[in-house]
Amino acid sequence: MKHLITTSFLLLAMWLPQKAAAYEFEIGGIYFMTDMWGEYAMVCDKGEDGPSYSGKVTIPAEVTHDDTTYPVIRINAYAFSNCAGLTGVTFPASVAVINDHAFENCTSLTTLQLPDVLEEIETAAFEGCSGLTQVKIPAGVKEIKMWAFQNCTGLTDVYCFINAPYEMTLGYNAFYLESEDYSSRTLHVPAGTADVYHDSDWNDYFGKIVEM
C-alpha cells in the first residue's frame, strides 16, 4: 500500500504543470533559457523573484548569447503568469508553442495576435486573462489544450482561421466560463465552415458562429 501511495504521488507530480526553471540570460528586459540541446531559446520567467513583465513586450525572433544565436520558438511554462501589469505582447513569426500557464492571470491583456506558425496552445496558457476581449487563432494550430482560455470573462470575439476543426484537438474546457453564459461570445470562422464548427466542440463555448 505504501508503495502504491508513493507511486501515485509521483505520477501526480509528473502530470501537474511545474514552475519553470530559472532563466539563463536576460536581453532587453526579457528572460531566456535554451533547450537541453542548445538548439533554440525560450522566453521564461524571472524565477523566484516573481512577476517581472509589465507594459507592452516585444519578443525578438532570435537572440544572441555567448556568441551563439538562437531562434526563439517557445514561450516557456509560467513565463508571464500573474504579470497583471502586462498590457500587450508582440510575438515573432518564429514562435510555435505557448506552454502551460504561460500567460495565466495576465488580467491587463486585451487582445492577442498569435503568430502564424503557432501549432500548440498548451494547458491553461491564458486562463484567467479576464481583460482579454479578442483573440486571433492562426490556421496552423493543431492543438488547444484543456483550460487554455478558461475563465477569460471579457472575451467576446475569437477569430479562428482553422479550416478543418475536426483535424485539430480542442481540449477539455478550453474556453470554459464558470457562469456557463456564452451568449455574448462570437466565433468568427473561415467562409464555408460554419456548419462544421456548429457540429464541433467549439459550439459549446460561443453564442454565435459567423463566417468571415
- Set of cell numbers at residue 93: 513569426
Query: What pLDDT is recorded for position 50?
Result: 63
Rounded to whole angstroms, how far apart are CA atoms 137 and 113? 8
- State pTM to two decimals: 0.88
Q: What is the pLDDT of residue 52?
A: 77
pLDDT score recorded for residue 47: 80
**What number is the average pLDDT over the span 42-70?**
90
Q: Which pLDDT does position 201 carry in this prediction?
A: 96
Residue-wise pLDDT for 7-20, tens only, equals 443 334 334 444 44
Rg (CA), the chain: 18
Q: What would the grid cell of residue 184 be?
A: 455574448
Burial 155-191 (b: 16+ CB within 10 A, else e): bebbbbbbeebeebebbebbbbbeeeebeebbbbbbe
pLDDT-based confidence at residue 48 (cuts at 50, 70, 90): confident
Secondary structure letter of residue 76 according to DSSP: -
Which tens digits make up the pLDDT trace of 96-114?
A: 999 999 999 999 999 999 9
The DSSP code for 167 is: G
Stretch 163-182: mean pLDDT:
97
Pick the CATH number of 2-211 from 3.60.15.10, 3.30.360.10, 3.50.50.60, 3.80.10.10: 3.80.10.10
pLDDT at 4 over 50: no
Mean pLDDT score, 141-154: 98
**Whether the Cβ atoms of residue 184 and residue 208 lie closer than 8 Å to each other:** no
Q: Is the dihedral of CA 160, 138, 167, 205 positive or negative?
A: negative
Question: What's the rounded Cα separation, in Å, for the pair 127 and 110?
Answer: 13
pLDDT at 155 over 60: yes
> pLDDT at residue 165 above 50?
yes
H/E run at residue 136: strand 134-137
- β 134-137/111-113 pair status: parallel
Q: What is the mean pLDDT of residues 119-130?
A: 98
For residue 41, the model assigns a pLDDT of 98
Examine the pLDDT at 69 and tell me if it is beyond 90. yes
Q: What are the boundaries of each domain within the chain?
A: 2-211
Average pLDDT along the chain:
90
Q: Is the predicted pLDDT of residue 209 greater than 70, yes or no?
A: yes
Bigger pLDDT: 193 vs 46:
193
Q: What is the pLDDT of residue 2?
A: 41
Cα 128 from Cα 8, distance rounded (Å)? 29
The kind and range of the H/E element at 194 are helix 194-198
- pLDDT tier, 66 (very low <50, low <70, confident <90, very high otherwise): very high
